[in-house]
Amino acid sequence: MTTLDAKVPAGPIQDKWTNHRFDMKLVNPANKRKYEIIIIGTGLAGASAAATLGELGYNVKVFTYHDSPRRAHSIAAQGGINAAKNYTNDGDSIYRLFYDTVKGGDYRSREANVYRLAEVSNEIIDQCTAQGVPFAREYGGLLDNRSFGGAQVSRTFYARGQTGQQLLLGAYQALARQVSLGNVKLFNRSEMLEVVLHEGRAVGVVVRDLINGEISSHSAHAVVLATGGYCNVFFLSTMAMACNTTAIWRAHRKGAFFANPSYTQIHPTCIPVHDEFQSKLTLMSESLRNDGRIWVPIDPDDTRAANDIPESERDYYLERIYPSFGNLAPRDVSSRAAMRMIDENRGVGPLKNGVYLDFSDAINRLGKDVIEARYGNLFEMYERITDEDPYDVPMRIYPAPHYSMGGLWVDYNLMTNVPGLYAIGEANFSDHGANRLGASALMQGLADGYFVLPYTIADYLADWLNVKPVPTDHEVFKEAEQEVDGRLKQLLSINGTRTVDSFHRELGKIMIEYCGLARSKPGLEKALAEIPALRDEFWKNVRVTGTEDNYNSELQKAGRVADFFELAELMCRDALEREESCGGHFRVEHQTEEGEAKRDDVDQAHVSAWEWKGFNVPQAHHKEPLEFENVALAQRSYK
Amino acid sequence: MDLTLKVWRQDGPGKPGEFREYEAKGISPDSSFLEMLDVVNERLVEAGDVPIEFDHDCREGICGTCGVMINGHPHGDQKGTATCQLHMRKFNDGDRIVIEPWRATGMPVMRDLIVDRSPLDRIIEAGGYISVNTGGAPDANLIPVPKPAAESSMDAAACIGCAACIAACPNSAGQLFTSAKLAHLNLLPQGQPERYARTIAMVETMEEFFGSCTNHGECEEACPKSISIDNIALMNRDYIVAKFKDRRKAGQR
Amino acid sequence: MTTTGRRQDTKPARRVPWIIEFYRSDVAKKWIMALSGVILLGYIAAHMLGNMKVYFGPEEINHYGEALRELGGDLVPKTHLLWIMRIGLTAAFAIHIHAAYSLTRTNLKARGRVRYDVPREYLAANYASRTMRWSGVIVLFFVLFHLADLTWGTTNPDFIRGDVYNNLIASFERVPVAALYIVANLALGLHILHGVWSLFQSVGANNEVYNKWRRYLAWGFTAVIVLGNLSFPIAVQLGIIS
């Protein structure tokens, strides 16, 4: 076990980023065009990084497996984006945003990164507004804010229930501008399948054209992975169907450390599962908890319709247990509370797998029009899916996997331990600790892409001036191409009896059961026995139809699920190793008498980073100790 | 519920295609349309066949990746709904459903139900942005935007770029998409400096790929976000003004 | 799949006169169609109103015909102003047709050869909007016949130059001609029903407050024109004027 160095600059936390920006090497404007940078992914982080690096003058190649950069899953974020503007005059500051985020992350994030995030949050709002993101406005024409879970100030900027969409369109438009200027070359419907290393540093990637199956290599001075999160390991999650771990997993297999894989966030407000064939869970924005009240019937055997249950027989459990935050308790806290209600058999709905989110008080207080203006599109979406009108009957919600705080380990410069390989946005592990606060994901993606990576990457690139990228006919690329091709051929040749989805579904069930909201030693050990067995069956018995040289969604899925197996194993091992409960990671062995998470700040205040040691060989465990110089470690309390 | 599907199958770009029929038995009425296709596909794979390829991703009606012609209606006949948000309870047991890809010369079929929508990206690249480099922005509240303008801009910006408008149009015109993107930026104060240059660039790029508007209004009906054809009127006016205006002397506004 | 930016593969700036470059755009063509449409609509309205003089007897209408030739009074030579108007009208008519023809070709090309298997069930497009091409062609042929019939007299054996009243009655007394006028005016009605609404879209006159009035105006205008125009052949056939 080695101790990792995060290269956090010295000095007081307020000055670290400023000083670091001065200390880093620069690439002069005329030299920037001598550099090639590859970016994988066009979500908020990828698109904003590609646009910004293009503006600076670098030659950027950006890859997405979608037909257009605008389809990345950042688009589905609903609620908003945090910033420490203090426009509402309620006492917000950079320091408070920093403090809330560290606390919200259950003291398992790197202080310096979080402070930097809070610091640039204001610039993000300025940048996005200038790009024409139609944020919600007050009548005076100034920006409106709303409150969000885990915070006692209103600091969330929003564009109806489509904030992610509007921010992504802003970044996409900035990217489109650079594409039109020729600074960025865009490859759509291209999936990255391998990271290529030469002499220990990242020099390029191998991608597959999804339309004609062609495999090609691309070389560069640096490779940036902005490929999002891996919650689809649970099969049912709120992530888009194509979200996967392949890019970061390939990088992990090439030596990049994977940090805190077990930190996954279960979002409290999703629409409950309805049947076996369901492919995807749908999120209802957390912002709904601003006006909705969460409750279950007091009597577990209550079979009455929601509106027939009198006030006195309802248990508004969040308001009861956490009086000061109430319905706005952070995500991990309210998810676990909902889980407890369902475990007590007090769940609602036909499968008794939900809790009520009731708007009748808000509608009575503010009127239906106000509620419609605030949440109209969400209510409509709910109605489409469930065939129930949330204006009349309370919504039914249930926690679902939603965000992965874990990801590739990166240092303060967002570089992985592999020189030249960067990970930004949800693909890295850095800013959210063990639990992400609402409206912070958009903030982090854009912070990394617009304001952090463009500075820090120059520090690395400066050393490679006038060194040409490794040519793509070099043997390292040829070998990687053969490896990719061999793997695809292998998947196609198994020709077993089970579909890719049937394996994925089974894997998901194991993961949600043993590595979901609550984890236990025996459960995780069971999972660690079942997953490799299922993986072995997959490699013997999966059936992938179609050919390699054509659009083949089964082949795409098969490659992704194969990587999910390996990730799943690592998640369970990480969860097993972390002998504490913190944020999204809840070990039943470590809880207070009231059932709250119990951290171990003596032995567990570290980042777990895992090093690949080979197929079917347990990863090596490395630690990055977390030091808290500015925030006092405390039992998180939202009571 | 049991259904019969008649689906367009095509092996690749420029290859000939044909309709094939599939039985979809035992479908849950609570499934979404795409989940129904998942079930059919899983059975096809089990039978050793190649599944029906279709574009899809978020399944929340926001990414705009999905979209097929369902019984002659883009995204099916439920108003304001993307294919992924259409649920099988809107169909009846025993229904025969014809599923076709979007059809337009500008959007050729790539595979089965997948079409090439990259012309939409070309339209954006022509000018669908505000030219502001990272880092140069003033404080956000220095740019007040009247609430009604912000609201109508947002109405237009809600476009998910699914191309149902083009699929629905008897002329395969891209006007609703282009005008929505234009209205999003042209209605905001930040969008004024490039307003007319943007309009000319985007309209003329659009015309390289798509047909012209004859004001039928089919696009608005098909749009999963119910974007109004009022945006098209705004685009037409801005285009004409742009062509007649001396932008050097008069400024952009 | 690689994609490239627009600006790299854009053709060099077009070196053609401004007006031609302008006219190359489909949006501009629609604008020109709207403007020429307004001219034609104005003419149609004036034509219908002027013809109302037929109900006041032969002198009135014949005098009206003469007055048109003497338009401009003593300021311009006789018939010159009328000819200027005729040329303007013909130009508007010609460009309206050319733009329509050219846009139709663009649209057919944009739509491609492969059509949807399921016949479209139109939700917003109405009969008028979908039949613009056909109603337009009918109106074109009708106008040619109408000129031959009542201006040049080639299809009217009883044509007497300058005797508007007589020519009109002589023409409309023939049942097939009256029927033709009725059918053609119904086609014209369909055409302007969509045209009047549509031109507001094409020029971008658009305001939530008065948008609904665009439909009302289209219906009202069409009703007045069609009823007025239909009244002439019907009145002759019924013997109200003879």
Task: Note whether B216 contacts C129, CB cutoff 8 Å.
Answer: yes
Same domain, B33 and B127: no
pLDDT category, C175, cuts 50, 70, 90?
very high
Same domain, B90 and B133: no
CATH number corresponding to A266-401? 3.90.700.10
Residue type, A439: A
Nearest to A287 by CA among A240, A328, A238: A328
Same domain, B192 and B85: no
Same domain, B146 and B223: yes
The residues with which A264 forms a beta bridge, in sequence order, are A404
A240 lies within 8 A of chain B by CB? yes
Contact assessment for residue A258 and residue A346, using Cβ atoms and an 8 Å cutoff: no
What distance in Å separates residue B214's CA from the closest CA in chain A? Answer: 28
Residue B8 host element (H or E):
strand B3-10
User: Which residue of chain B comes nearest to C25, CA vs CA?
Assistant: B204
In the predicted structure, residue C152 carries a pLDDT above the cut 50 = yes
Pull the structure tokens for residue A140.
């005076």
Domains of chain C: 25-112+127-238 (1.20.1300.10)
In the predicted structure, residue C8 carries a pLDDT above the cut 50 = no
Q: What secondary structure does DSSP assign to A303-362, as a single string?
A: -S-GGGS-GGGEE-HHHHH-TTTGGG--HHHHHHHHHHHHHTT--BTTTT-BEEEE-HHH
A162 lies within 8 A of chain B by CB? yes
Q: What is the pLDDT of residue C6?
A: 45
In the predicted structure, residue A499 carries a pLDDT above the cut 60 = yes
Q: Taking the CA atoms of chain A, what radius of gyration do you get in angstroms?
A: 24
Domain coordinates of chain A in residue numbers?
A: 266-401, 488-625
> Which of B111, B140, B164 marks a domain boundary?
B111
> Which of B111, B130, B153 marks a domain boundary?
B111
Same domain, B183 and B131: yes
User: Which residue of chain B comes nearest to A449, CA vs CA?
Assistant: B134
Number of helices and strands (H, E) in chain A? 17, 20
B14: domain CATH number? 3.10.20.30
Over the stretch B143-187, which tens digit does the pLDDT of each residue have? 999 999 999 999 999 999 999 999 999 999 999 999 999 999 999
Spacing of C-alpha A65 from chain mean position: 18
Task: Note whether B216 contacts C3, CB cutoff 8 Å.
Answer: no
Task: Please tell me if the domain spanning A266-401 has the same topology as the one spanning A488-625.
Answer: no
Q: What is the pLDDT of residue C163?
A: 87
Contact assessment for residue A402 and residue A516, using Cβ atoms and an 8 Å cutoff: no
Average per-residue pLDDT for chain A: 95
Using a CB-CB cut-off of 8 Å, the residues of chain A touching B78 are 384
Q: What is the pLDDT of residue A1?
A: 62
What distance in Å separates residue A543's CA from the closest CA in chain B? Answer: 7
Q: What is the pLDDT of residue A637?
A: 76
Distance CA B6, CA B100 (A): 8
Q: What is the pLDDT of residue C206?
A: 86
Same domain, B82 and B15: yes
User: Which residue of chain B comes nearest to A213, CA vs CA?
Assistant: B12
Q: Which chains touch B (3 or more CB pairs under 8 A)?
A: A, C
Q: What is the pLDDT of residue B253?
A: 55
The residues with which A610 forms a beta bridge, in sequence order, are A258, A621
Using a CB-CB cut-off of 8 Å, the residues of chain A touching C6 are 180
Spacing of C-alpha A239 from chain mean position: 9
A211 lies within 8 A of chain C by CB? yes
Distance CA A584, CA A576 (A): 14
Q: What is the pLDDT of residue C3?
A: 57
Over the stretch B15-25, which tens digit does the pLDDT of each residue have? 999 999 999 99
pLDDT category, A196, cuts 50, 70, 90?
very high
Same domain, B136 and B153: yes
What distance in Å separates residue B115's CA from the closest CA in chain A? Answer: 9
**Phi/psi of residue A356, each to 5°?**
-85, 140
CATH number corresponding to A488-625? 1.20.58.100
Span of A175-184, B136-145, B233-242, C56-65 with lowest mean pLDDT? C56-65
Over the stretch A205-221, which tens digit does the pLDDT of each residue have? 999 999 999 999 999 99
Q: How many CB atoms lie within 10 A of CB A146?
A: 18
* Interval B4-8 mean pLDDT: 97
Q: What is the pLDDT of residue A466?
A: 94
Q: Are strands A36-40 and A59-63 parallel, antiparallel or unpaired?
A: parallel
Q: Is A307 exposed, middle or buried (0-12, 13-18, 19+ CB in 10 A)?
A: exposed
Q: What is the pLDDT of residue B245?
A: 83
Using a CB-CB cut-off of 8 Å, the residues of chain A touching B39 are 277
Q: Chain B, 130-169: which have a CB under 8 Å from a chain C CB?
A: none
Contact assessment for residue A434 and residue A585, using Cβ atoms and an 8 Å cutoff: yes
Same domain, B245 and B131: yes
In the predicted structure, residue A107 carries a pLDDT above the cut 60 = yes
Q: What is the largest CA-CA distance in chain A?
A: 75
Same domain, B215 and B121: yes
In the predicted structure, residue C198 carries a pLDDT above the cut 70 = yes
Q: Is B95 exposed, middle or buried (0-12, 13-18, 19+ CB in 10 A)?
A: middle
pLDDT category, A369, cuts 50, 70, 90?
very high
Q: Which of B32, B57, B124 shows the shortest C-beta gap to A66? A: B57
pLDDT category, C10, cuts 50, 70, 90?
very low
Residue A399 host element (H or E):
strand A395-404
Q: Chain A, 245-284: which have a CB under 8 Å from a chain B CB?
A: 274-275, 277-280, 282-283
ipTM of this model?
0.97
Percent of chain B at pLDDT > 90 equals 96
What are the distances in angstroms from CA A249 to CA A289, A522, C202?
35, 26, 53
The residues with which A597 forms a beta bridge, in sequence order, are A591
User: Which residue of chain B comes nearest to C115, CA vs CA?
Assistant: B103
Q: What is the pLDDT of residue C2?
A: 59
Average per-residue pLDDT for chain B: 95
What distance in Å separates residue B139's CA from the closest CA in chain C? Answer: 31
Same domain, B28 and B152: no
pTM, 2 dp: 0.95
Residue type, A567: L
Distance CA A278, CA A270 (A): 14
Same domain, B185 and B159: yes
B121: domain CATH number? 1.10.1060.10
User: Which residue of chain A comes nearest to C6, CA vs CA?
Assistant: A180
Q: Is the dihedral of CA C74, C80, C86, C92 positive or negative?
A: negative
Span of A337-341, C135-139, C207-211 with lowest mean pLDDT? C207-211
Task: Note whether B170 contacts C112, CB cutoff 8 Å.
Answer: no
Q: What is the pLDDT of residue C123?
A: 84
Q: Which chains touch C (3 or more CB pairs under 8 A)?
A: A, B
Domain range for B70 is 3-111
The one-character DSSP state at C123 is: S
Q: What is the pLDDT of residue C9?
A: 43
Q: Which of B35, B111, B150 shows the shortest C-beta gap to A137? A: B150
Q: What secondary structure does DSSP assign to A33-56, as a single string?
A: TT-EEEEE--SHHHHHHHHHHHHH
Task: Note whether B172 contacts C197, CB cutoff 8 Å.
Answer: no
**Number of domains chain B is built from:** 2
In the predicted structure, residue A195 carries a pLDDT above the cut 90 = yes
Q: Where are the alpha helices (DSSP H) in A181-245?
A: none
A206 sits in the region (left: phi over 0; alpha: psi -120 to 50; else beta) called: beta
Q: What is the pLDDT of residue C13?
A: 58
Same domain, B239 and B122: yes
> Which of B92, B111, B130 marks a domain boundary?
B111
pLDDT category, C126, cuts 50, 70, 90?
confident
